[in-house]
Amino acid sequence: MPRSTQSPGRQAAIQFAALLRRLTSRPVRLGIRPDSIVVRCSGKGHRVRLAPGRFWRSAKCRACGAKVDPTRMRRLGRWLWALRLPASARNRDRGLWLGTTGYLALAVFSAALLWLLADRWWAATTLLFGPRWVLLLPAVSLAVLALRWDRPLLVPIAVTVLIVLGPVMGLQTGWRTWLTHPDDARDVRIVSLNAEGGRPLTMALTDMLLRWHADVLAIQECGPRIVEAFQFLEEWHTDATGSLCLVSRYPISRVDTMPREAFAAAGGSAVVVTYRLEAEPVPIHFTNIHLETPRAGLEKIRAGDLAEGIPALEGKSTIREIEQSRAARWTEQFPHPQIVVGDFNSPPESPIYRHAWDGWTNAFSVAGRGFGYTRMNGWIRARIDHILVDDTWKVVRAWAGPDVGSDHKPMLAVIRLRRGSELK
């Protein structure tokens, strides 16, 4: 027999199209409508078809008088199971069903890209730092069509929206903080801000400290304007090391800077500084960091220059991985309690970030509400500024602050030393 001249990809596409035609052309035995749901009674197992008005109401079998699905779980399960098929063989219903299931598959695929392949494959990395909110746009048109033609499809559409909001966009509920109450005597308020050199700031340094009731303010891309403002701070302790600055209520007894050679050898430009803060009842080791950005590769890809953009992005991912891991190892030499803050240039979904900082608690991830975006770049929003604490701390609250003129928003957190941690 002669061999097929079609490529494997085309053959797979033809087979997939044929499978979809078979699925969508199958007769709908249970239908999606409530009046086609059939369940068995609890007596002799008679099959009972629920009338439209009786779908949620209690029902009895006409043959033996036994109750029909009193918990309503069977009818709900059959109703959901019926969603695996279009409402009818009409092109309208089949098209809407295909659009809904395709949207669900897109959301699951996007979540898998972010959590498994980001930082490893350039397309997934682009999604990691891109405007993920665009994945919500199909939900609008699909929901409108479902309301008009097939309302049960609102269920998978709602599930898809939850997947996009949660695993894809990083929505946090902050439920862990519902039973936690403020304790001014024990709480420590931390602020981290990439100030973009300090020139565009619309809020003075003293105003930031007063407005946010900060105990420690860590600044990346500090700049001379902010350093000059240190002289107007009374009863505060300050330090400026390279492009990092620190303002603290607690005395700074020691400053350790991670050798830049560890990053420069790999082509990176990270800055990592650890401070010993003489707080009560136990000193705190506080690390301020600013790590490599993938911006150069991303900008070329967005401009359509894939030939240069992809290698540049992959190279930046390698540098970011080295910097994240070495910065994490740097903190291991200091005793507890510890706090690490700064511009990580990696969202929390990043596999590089999660592997390097495994064991640390991201304040916003456990106590934040909303998305916590800190990097503002046109339509792009990303949470790349973090406050991390070790297990001696309990996070009371975390949130992204207001726009202060920089291209980053501040990240704020209220943390509390756990009982007994002062004895470590």
User: Hey, what's the torsion of the CAs at 328, 331, 335, 338, to 10 degrees?
Assistant: -80
| pLDDT (tens digit per residue) in 340-394 | 999 999 999 999 999 999 999 999 999 999 999 998 877 778 999 999 999 999 9
**DSSP type of residue 370:** B
Which of 96, 102, 187 lies closest to 148, judged by CA? 96
Name the H helices within 192-293: 205-212, 224-229, 261-264
Which of 367, 371, 358, 423 lies closest to 394, judged by CA? 367
Name the H helices within 230-282: 261-264
Total residues found in the chain within this entry: 424
| pLDDT (tens digit per residue) in 184-219 | 888 999 999 999 888 888 888 999 999 999 999 999
Q: Can you tell me the distance from the alpha carbon of 383 to that of 344, in angstroms, rounded to the nearest whole number?
A: 9
Q: Can you tell me the distance from the alpha carbon of 220 to that of 199, in angstroms, rounded to the nearest whole number?
A: 13
Q: Is the pTM of this model over 0.75?
A: yes
| pLDDT (tens digit per residue) in 237-250 | 999 998 999 999 99
Mean pLDDT score of the chain, rounded to an integer? Answer: 87
pLDDT interval class at 260 (50, 70, 90) = confident
Contacts of residue 322, defined as CB under 8 A and 6 or more positions apart, other chains included, come to: 263, 266, 268
Burial class (CB in 10 A: 0-12, 13-18, 19+), 19: exposed
Which of 135, 130, 117, 111 lies closest to 297, judged by CA? 130
Which of 390, 389, 392, 391 lies closest to 413, judged by CA? 389
| pLDDT (tens digit per residue) in 270-313 | 999 999 999 988 999 999 999 999 988 988 998 888 999 999 99
Q: For 193, phi and psi rounded to 5 degrees?
A: -145, 125
E strand or H helix that includes residue 25: helix 8-25
**Residue 137 predicted with pLDDT over 80:** yes
Please write down the HEC assignment for all residues of 151-179: HHHHHHHHHHHHHHHHHHCCCECCHHHCC
Q: For 89, phi and psi rounded to 5 degrees?
A: -85, 0
| pLDDT (tens digit per residue) in 4-28 | 556 666 676 677 667 656 544 544 3
| pLDDT (tens digit per residue) in 26-67 | 443 333 444 467 888 888 788 887 776 667 778 888 888 888
Q: Can you tell me the distance from the alpha carbon of 232 to that of 334, in angstroms, rounded to the nearest whole number?
A: 32
Residue 163 in tokens:
């997947």
* pLDDT (average), residues 156-162: 96
Alpha carbon separation from 187 to 210, 414, 416 (Å, rounded): 16, 6, 5
* pLDDT (average), residues 138-152: 92
pLDDT, position 71: 81
Which of 223, 200, 194, 245 lies closest to 374, judged by CA? 194
